[in-house]
């Protein structure tokens, strides 16, 4: 139980980094040969993909509050995690629809896999209690948001995500989740 709490507490940092991507300027690669461009997210031009940033931020705050109390996460943290997972999964499903409409079937298959894994991990999490449940819920969020950081699809990587910063933060979440399972 204490191991899961430690991993969940460590996950607050990458979640906060993802959340800060909503307002912070980030470096994204573009062109060939590769060059770097500074991109700042404009708050006037909100995107539906911003739900992932907001979900990560609210999840980081709710976990921070739960870990300060010392008791296992309550229903507010669990509902927050479920809403963040739902938002990230919905945006991934939206990307699948766009790729399917365009006939990009390889991308469709790549993006459908995290949706299926997220559903399984989320239902497994709901069968657990305490910090183990929160560990699995954050793992489900990280997996649901992983396609959003896919560098294999340049338009999505450069325009919607925080580029390298988002990729590193989300891969860190997945790594902490896997490490917490041991």
Q: How far apart are CA 166 and CA 18, in angstroms?
A: 6
Mean pLDDT across the stretch 78-86? Answer: 91
Question: Is the predicted pLDDT of residue 166 greater than 70, yes or no?
Answer: yes
- Whether the per-residue pLDDT at 64 is higher than 90: the answer is no
Q: What DSSP character marks residue 182?
A: -
Own/partner contacts of 101-109, CB < 8 Å, gap of 24 or more, are 107/153
pLDDT grade for 25, boundaries at 50, 70 and 90: low
Question: Is the pTM higher than 0.85?
Answer: no
């Amino acid at each position: 139980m204490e191991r899961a709490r430690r991993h969940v507490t460590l996950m607050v940092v990458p979640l906060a980094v993802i959340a800060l991507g909503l307002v912070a300027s980030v470096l994204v690669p573009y062109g060939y040969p590769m060059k770097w461009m500074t991109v700042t997210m404009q708050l006037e031009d909100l995107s539906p993909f911003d739900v992932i940033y907001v979900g990560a931020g609210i999840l980081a705050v709710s976990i921070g509050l739960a870990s300060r109390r010392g008791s296992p996460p309550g229903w507010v943290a669990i509902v927050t995690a479920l809403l963040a997972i739902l938002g990230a999964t919905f945006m991934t499903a939206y990307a699948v629809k766009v790729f399917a409409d365009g006939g990009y079937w390889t991308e469709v298959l790549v993006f459908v896999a995290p949706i299926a894994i997220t559903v399984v991990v989320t239902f497994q999490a709901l069968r657990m209690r305490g910090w183990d449940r929160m560990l699995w819920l954050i793992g489900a969020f990280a997996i649901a948001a992983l396609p959003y950081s896919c560098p294999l699809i340049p338009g999505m990587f450069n325009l919607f995500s925080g580029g390298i910063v988002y990729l590193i933060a989300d891969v860190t979440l997945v790594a902490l989740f896997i490490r917490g399972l041991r």
